[in-house]
Amino acid sequence: MCGSVSAIGLEDRERELWPYLRERLRRPGHLMAIMRGVLGDVEVAAVVAVTPQGAVTTLALLTTAETIAQEIHLPPQDRDRPGVRRGRIGDYDVDVLVGAGPDGVTRPLAVLATPWIEQHLLLYARTLWHRRPARSTGPAAAQRPASSGTAISAPTTATPRNSQAT
């Protein structure tokens, strides 16, 4: 969800944080998005970077889920200082993005992704789309409009239309 009006399924706080987190975590050459996912038994919002081929890389988890926010332990001297701060969630060391939210209060905004989070986070989609070369031969080619050589389609496991079952 990259646009200002494409925030389907997000909580109000996630919508408020998105512009700041998008710019703070931006990766050049990638689209930035917020996706819903599940970590353990908690539904979370994740800031992700998406390649032109559609591969998704998790960058951070928003702390809008109360369960996540309660688990973050920051040293007292770092609680009110904006920036990336070292903290803990349970037995794990994490980097936490601390900043002023839209209401001006400084608090943890997001937990930067770790290998453990990558392994245990289930995003609702890991590949949003992919590019494939446009076919230029066969009977259907005469019916397709000319293209620049690539087509964008959703990934699928269905049998291609031109293949025949034996």
Dump pLDDT digits (tens) for 12-38: 888 888 888 999 999 999 999 998 888
Q: Is the residue at 3 inside a domain?
A: no
The range of the structural domain enclosing residue 61 comes to: 12-123
**Strands 56-62, 121-123: pairing kind:** unpaired
Please check the confidence at residue 150 and state whether its pLDDT lies above 80. no
Q: How many domains does the chain have?
A: 1
Dump pLDDT digits (tens) for 82-123: 889 999 998 889 999 998 876 777 889 999 999 988 888 888
Q: Is the residue at 4 inside a domain?
A: no
Query: Ranked by mean pLDDT, which of 13-17, 134-138, 139-143 comes out on top?
Result: 13-17
Dump pLDDT digits (tens) for 44-60: 999 999 998 888 899 99
- Residues 113 and 28: their CA atoms lie apart, in Å, by 18
Q: Is the residue at 93 inside a domain?
A: yes
Q: How far apart are the first and last CA of the chain?
A: 42
Q: Is the residue at 145 inside a domain?
A: no
Q: Is the residue at 141 inside a domain?
A: no
Using pLDDT thresholds of 50, 70 and 90, give the confidence band for residue 145.
very low
Q: Is the residue at 129 inside a domain?
A: no
Residue 104 makes CB contacts below 8 A (sequence gap 6+) with none
- Residues 92 and 79: their CA atoms lie apart, in Å, by 18
10 vs 1, which has greater pLDDT? 10
Q: Is the residue at 158 inside a domain?
A: no
Using pLDDT thresholds of 50, 70 and 90, give the confidence band for residue 137.
low
| Residue 159: per-residue pLDDT | 31
38 vs 10, which has greater pLDDT? 38
Q: Is the residue at 111 inside a domain?
A: yes
